[in-house]
Amino acid sequence: MRSVECGIFGIVMAGLVAALTVPAEEPVGLRVARELHREGDHKSAAIEFRRLALESGGADAGGYYWAAAHEYRLGRQHDIIGKMLDRVEDANPSLSNQAMLLRGENALDTRQFSDAAFYFESLFADKGADREYRDYAGLRLAGLHLRNEDPAKAREVLSAVQDADYKQLGAVSVYQAGRDKSPTVGGFLGLIPGLGYAYSGEYANGLRSLILNGLFIWGMVETANDEQWGAFAAIIFFEITWYTGSIYGGIDSAHRYNRDRLQEAEKAIMGEASFEPDYSVIPSVTLQFSF
Amino acid sequence: MKSVKRIPVILAGILFSVSAATANFDLAVDLFEEGDWPACRRECLRVSVLDPDHAGVRLLSAASLVQQILEGKEVKDDRVSSADQELRDLAAGADDRDISAMASLELGRLSWFRGDIDGAFDELRRAFVTAPDHELFLRAGCSLDLLIRQNSALARSRDLTGLESQLNTCRPMWTGGLARSCVVDAHGKERATSRPGKWIVAFYRSQVRPAIGSRCSLEPSCSEYYKRASGKHGLLGVAMIGDRLVREPGVVSRAEHPVVAGGKIHYADPLDEHDWWMER
């Protein structure tokens, strides 16, 4: 009888030890969130991460909220990211650098360039932050200085970034040597069909606009000479579209030209720089940078 | 003995259910505040599986559906009827006065949208008079005031003495943002100058496109682009579609941003790529 009791006691103890030593299985929600992320359903993944944050509470919630913010960014739901990142900092202040980085990226995505400069500058100037965070922020900041038409500051920041080489500095010089197109001039030139497009280097669009406007103006003249006012009204309706389109295109193509020139320089400055969170260790937030 | 053994399992189940229901409810409230109505309804469904009598969830679910309807989304009639009934039950029988008043407010907005002005007036007045929460009180008052101003017949058919003085008293507390969020417009908000654009697109889609087929290689299609452009910028949409039609072959030949739409490869050329500079 005694040996039976000892046996039961031994089995119970062995079970307890096994339960305490075997690592806790990760929550089902986390696996679901990862799977949704892999499938590209970022909005649903974000909601799963938020559920995990609410269920777990404490510092872990910070990591889950950060992952939710990252998913919302991938899903281009920029308006909710700030709210998620506020919660990250409330739940786990030690994730402030990760939150700052995502705030900067989100501000860039939403074209809030002065906000983006503030976040990246704060991160770049933080001597306590990891070198990789500071370097990434520095590259972004250099691009933002260029956007702000301050190439000297862009060079100054790049010189403090580890591994920044002649390619990045060369991109600043190339951008500085080029010239922007004036949207006002583009609009005025657009009064002559197609010339606005040509001003910004879009010669094929310019030629198409010229041909279309030429044909319809010719049609208007012919129908007016023949006093065919019904056909004249139909043709003028389309001609208004082509003609106003030429003016609008002159303005828009100049803006496009300037934007593309800047984006090219920013792309050259960033090079291969990017970061990815390691979802296998969530709720701890570990970013893997590549430069 | 068997039932005793099951107690820890049941307890764990209850504890898990309570914590999960709380987390899901908090999430549903968050999603409601963010205006993600379908996701909010899904979370409400999760909570209601665990706790079918949760009045807050019933209200949130019905209110999300009302918001979808007010935004012009297509909702099946039977779901509208069930949301309507849910709100009526909550307005009449909820123990919590906040929930009862909010149900009246949502019911009033739904009735307003459906053109039942008398029903809307009754519900909004009930919400205004009974709301214990200050924010809810302001919202109900502002909605009621807008309803009365938009429907002058109410002043003749209803006794508004007393009510008008109450509304006048709280009017200074209504902000522009509150007033905008309280407006219910069955026809949707649109510029007067955008209407011809909508008519042209409707004519093209019903009379021309069936004959010639869908020919645009861009996403959104040219008719949709024009509809959005004229909705956002009024008559400037004419110039924007003129520019789009000239650029189309160039965008297709560059083939930079392919997207699959309707089983065919199209090329992305969204409106915000061509009007972002207006918003700077």
Whichever domain contains B144, its CATH number is 1.25.40.10
For residue B205, the enclosing domain spans 192-279
Please indicate whether, in this complex, the C-beta atoms of B239 and A43 are within 8 angstroms of each other.
no
Q: List, for residues A21-41, the tens digit of each pLDDT value.
A: 545 567 888 899 999 999 989
The domain limits of chain A are: 30-110, 112-178, 185-267
Tokens of B238: 């004419």
Domain annotation covers residue B240? yes
- For B242, the closest of A202, A204, A248 (CB atoms) is A248
Please tell me if residue A105 touches chain B, with a CB cutoff of 8 Å.
no
Q: Is residue A99 within 8 Å of residue A85, measured between CB atoms?
A: yes
Q: Both B48 and B14 in a single domain?
A: yes
Q: Which of B243, B251, B260, B280 to mutate to test the interface with A (most CBs of A within 10 A)?
A: B243
Whether B41 and B97 share a structural domain: yes
- B40 and B110 share a domain? yes
Q: How far is CA B159 from CA A43, B149, B206, in A?
A: 49, 15, 48
In terms of domains, do B152 and B16 share one?
Answer: yes
Q: Are residues B113 and B239 in the same domain?
A: no
B212 confidence band (pLDDT: 50, 70, 90): confident
Mark whether B209 and B119 lie in a shared domain.
Answer: no
The reply to whether B1 falls in a domain is no
pLDDT top residue among A83 and B68 = A83
Mean pLDDT of A237-251: 94
Q: What is the ipTM of this complex?
A: 0.72
- Please tell me if residue A244 touches chain B, with a CB cutoff of 8 Å: yes
Cross-chain CB nearest to B19 (options A47, A55, A183): A55
Question: DSSP labels for A193-250?
Answer: TTHHHHHTT-HHHHHHHHHHHHHHHHHHHHHHHTT-HHHHHHHHHHHHHHHHHHHHHH
Residues of A in contact with B236 (CB under 8 A): 248
CA distance B97 to B137: 12
A276 bridge partner residues: A288
Name the pTM for this structure. 0.74
A138-174 per-residue burial string, b: 16 or more CB within 10 A, e: under 16: bbbbbbbbbbeeebeebbebbeebeebeeebbebbee
Residue B12 pLDDT > 90, yes or no?
no
DSSP secondary structure of A73-113: HHTT-GGGHHHHHHHHHHH-GGGHHHHHHHHHHHHHHTT-H
The Cα–Cα gap between B244 and A82 comes to: 34
Of the three residues B182, B206, B230, the one that is the final residue of a domain is: B182
Q: What is the SS3 assignment for A179? A: coil
Q: Can you read off the two tokens belonging to residue A96?
A: 């402030």
**How far is the C-alpha of B80 from the C-alpha of B82, rounded, in Å?**
6
A5 pLDDT tier (thresholds 50, 70, 90): low
Interface test mutation site (partner B, options A54, A200, A211, max chain B beta carbons within 10 A): A54
User: Tens digits of per-residue pLDDT, B82-120?
Assistant: 888 888 888 887 778 888 888 999 999 888 888 888 888
Same domain, B72 and B139: yes
**Final residue belonging to a domain, choices B127, B160, B182:** B182
Confidence of residue A210 (pLDDT cuts 50, 70, 90): very high
Percent of chain A's residues with pLDDT above 90: 59
State the pLDDT at residue A161: 82
How many domains, chain B? 2
SS3 string, B19-51, reads HHHHHHHHHHHHHHHHCCHHHHHHHHHHHHHHC
Report the C-alpha gap between B269 and B243 in whole angstroms: 12
A28 touching chain B per CB within 8 A: no
Residues B33 and B69 in one domain: yes
Question: Which residues of chain A does B277 touch, with a Cβ-Cβ cutoff of 8 Å?
Answer: 183, 252, 255
Residue B3 lies in a domain: no
Q: Are residues B52 and B152 in the same domain?
A: yes
